Structure 1
Amino acid sequence: MCYKTKFLYLLPMKRIYNILIIGFLTQLIVVGTVEAQQDKIEGEWFTTDEQAKIAIFRGKEGYNGKVIWLADMEEGAEAPLDTENEDPSLRERSILGLNILEGLAYEDGEWVDGELYDPESGKIYRCLARFKRDEDQLEVRGYLGMPAFGKSVLWERVK
């Protein structure tokens, strides 16, 4: 094979190699951006009227939220119990430290397919969450069946 023929033979392979490298690097950038966006929900949030503080964190099955502070608890007082729970065996557990959000998954700019436990009613609702005006306001929607048949509340990020 002469020098010119060998050069022409290798040219397409270099192009293919370059295209593959560029594609791989682009994929890394896109995945990194989505990863960074979905983690923006993590942190501490005040519920409506600052009655409780919820810590949202990434778990094995999605994003979860745990009650870490209650407004009506005096220092040194025992935390209120989960007395409204439909399961009588769970009515003696403390609301403080309770996971009330479970399994939120990031999809198309919002967190979906989660469950929200309401300690005031003892009911579990399906849940989705999304930023409202900016990344310091989180709209949390609990619903039965379809999101259209639910209620939204606004949580504020703790600063």
Structure 2
Amino acid sequence: MRHFTQRAQALALNTLKQATLAGVLLASAGFALAQGTDTPVGTWQTIDDHTGQPKALVQITEDSNGALSGKVIKGLSPNDNPQRRCTECTDARKDQLILGMTIINDMKKSDGGWDGGNILDPENGKVYKCKMHVEDNGQKLVVRGYIGISLLGRSQTWNRVQ
């Protein structure tokens, strides 16, 4: 009987260790997932202001200094021409392909979001100051382009692509 009790205790201890390890792994995975959703880094579906339909995919990345940038990686409009160029741009992006173009530059972490960078609207070639923050557990990105002060601008809500 004593041998049976020792074996049962060893089995219970082993089961407890496995459950504890599984709990630690699940907590770590949950932490990593939560941490990944509080940042704009990832791929986002933009929405056309006029039609309300998906317009493009923008991939946001972080450089070694912590600054974010975003580039157009795919057009989603059914009549989107992949050879379309930014004819209205007035900087170095003039007449460059919109597909593959960096439209968000130099965004830095600030209180409640990211700020200090700029965003290009390839439709009109204008460059605006930019602010952004994530919402809805990291599934939405509110991007605000503005001139001068943030009150003079407009916001778009982009959807995270999994």
Do both proteins adopt the same fold according to a TM-score greater than 0.5, normalized to the shorter chain? yes
**Is 1:110 aligned to 2:109, yes or no?**
no
Higher helix share: 1
TM-score by length of 2: 0.67
C-alpha contact 1:38 1:106 (8 A) present in aligned 2 = no
**Is 1:68 aligned to 2:66, yes or no?**
no
C-alpha contact 2:38 2:134 (8 A) present in aligned 1 = no
Please give the secondary structure, in 2, of the residue aligned with 1:83. Answer: coil
Distance 2:42 2:129 in 1: 21
Structure 1 residues 83 and 73, CA gap change in structure 2 (3 angstroms): farther
Measured after TM superposition, the shift of residue 39 of structure 1 is 6.8
Measured after TM superposition, the shift of residue 41 of structure 1 is 1.3
Distance 1:90 1:131 in 2: 28
Distance 1:90 1:55 in 2: 18
C-alpha contact 2:56 2:73 (8 A) present in aligned 1 = yes
1:83 to 79, 87, 90: 87
CA RMSD of aligned residues (A): 2.4
Counterpart residue number, 1:4: none
1:131 to 117, 131, 134: 134
Distance 2:135 2:61 in 1: 19
TM-score by length of 1: 0.69
Task: In structure 1, give the amino acid aligned to 2:39.
Answer: K
Structure 1 residues 124 and 60, CA gap change in structure 2 (3 angstroms): farther
2:57 to 34, 48, 53: 53
**Is 1:98 aligned to 2:101, yes or no?**
yes
Aligned length: 123
Counterpart residue number, 2:43: 44
- Structure 1 unaligned spans of 5+: 1-32
Measured after TM superposition, the shift of residue 59 of structure 1 is 2.0
Please give the secondary structure, in 1, of the residue aligned with 2:39. Answer: helix
C-alpha contact 2:133 2:141 (8 A) present in aligned 1 = yes
Structure 1 residues 109 and 119, CA gap change in structure 2 (3 angstroms): same
Structure 1 residues 37 and 78, CA gap change in structure 2 (3 angstroms): closer
